[in-house]
């Protein structure tokens, strides 16, 4: 039974690897494992660890999404003031601006928050087994529980505020 359970967790982790950028993180935020050890820096001024742990983090993705929402809002205002010129450009119509933009950004944010929630759920499940096996402390287990509770709350808050523009 125990081997089957560990195998299930391992399979679930492998399935989630692409969703978390191919990395498994330690609690202190450093990379524990990557499926491709041949990663090259994406920029000479940014270490691979910074890209994976900071640039590709949930917080940064949500901040970037906020910027995209702001840019789209500005775009809507711009096209309202210059209708004749804006007709030459794609995505300037009412449908895009009032239906497409909110639905697209909502789908992105929902996906990020759902994946974060699912990841924290799997991390908690693994931590419970590790605690049962004496591999981690109760404090470490509680940290995973707190992270899961926060992700669950944040996903639920998003869910309750999410609407589909139609």
Q: What percent of the chain has pLDDT over 70?
A: 73
Confidence of residue 79 (pLDDT cuts 50, 70, 90): confident
* pLDDT at residue 159, as a whole number: 93
Q: Using DSSP, state whether 136 is helix, strand or coil.
A: coil
Confidence of residue 148 (pLDDT cuts 50, 70, 90): very high
Confidence of residue 54 (pLDDT cuts 50, 70, 90): confident
* pLDDT at residue 97, as a whole number: 83
Least confident of 24-28, 59-63, 90-94, 149-153: 24-28
**Residue 142 predicted with pLDDT over 50:** yes
Evaluate whether 19 touches 119 at the Cβ level (below 8 Å).
yes
SS (H, E, C) 5-65: HHHHHHHHHHHHHHHHCCCEECCCCCEEECCCCCCCCCECCECHHHHHHHHCCHHHHHHHH
Between 129 and 32, the more confident residue is 129
What is the arithmetic mean of pLDDT over 22-46?
58
């Amino acid at each position: 039974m125990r081997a089957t359970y560990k195998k299930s967790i391992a399979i679930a982790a492998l399935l989630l690897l692409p969703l978390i950028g191919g990395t498994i993180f330690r609690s202190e935020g450093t990379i524990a494992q990557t499926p491709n050890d041949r990663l090259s820096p994406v920029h000479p001024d940014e270490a691979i660890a910074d890209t994976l742990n900071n640039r590709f983090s949930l917080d940064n993705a949500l901040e970037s999404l906020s910027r995209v929402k702001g840019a789209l809002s500005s775009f809507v205002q711009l096209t309202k003031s210059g209708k004749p010129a804006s007709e030459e450009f794609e995505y300037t119509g009412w449908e895009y601006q009032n239906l497409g933009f909110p639905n697209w950004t909502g789908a992105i944010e929902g996906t990020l928050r759902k994946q974060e929630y699912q990841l924290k759920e799997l991390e908690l499940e693994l931590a419970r087994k590790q605690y049962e096996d004496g591999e981690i402390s109760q404090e470490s287990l509680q940290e995973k529980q707190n992270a899961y509770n926060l992700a669950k709350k944040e996903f639920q808050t998003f869910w309750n505020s999410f609407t589909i523009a139609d």
